[in-house]
Structure 1
């Protein structure tokens, strides 16, 4: 897998994922908060499967 998530994009993904998971654990939002695992994983692994399909990359060249 080639890195395609970088910089601010990575930080925002990790923060949003952690926030959604924390809200799901605390019961403030429903089960869909567990979908925060997706942005968290894409931020941690620095790869988003949708980016190649859309021809995007936020990693510096």
Structure 2
């Protein structure tokens, strides 16, 4: 099964920044939950695929006109 690329550039950059903040906050607060959330957000940003977007039919990638 191929996962669709449905996370655009701006969405990806926001996800990577939020992931860094969540992971850092989790390390400072000694919270495993924040670290896990941060890793999930990091993975969706790094791979460009958000499984929550699939059933909602959301796609933030830039489509080329042609």
TM band (smaller chain): 0.7 to 0.9
Compute the TM-score of the two structures, normalised by the length of structure 2. Answer: 0.80
Structure 2: tracts of 5 or more residues without a match: none
Question: What is the TM-score with the length of structure 1 in the denominator?
Answer: 0.86
Consecutive unaligned residues of structure 1, counting only runs of 5 or more, are none
How many residue pairs align between the two structures? 60
* Larger-gyration structure (1/2): 2
Could you say what the CA RMSD is over the residues aligned between the two structures, in angstroms?
A: 1.3
Structure 1: how far apart are the matches of 2:8 and 2:21? Answer: 19
Distance 2:41 2:32 in 1: 16
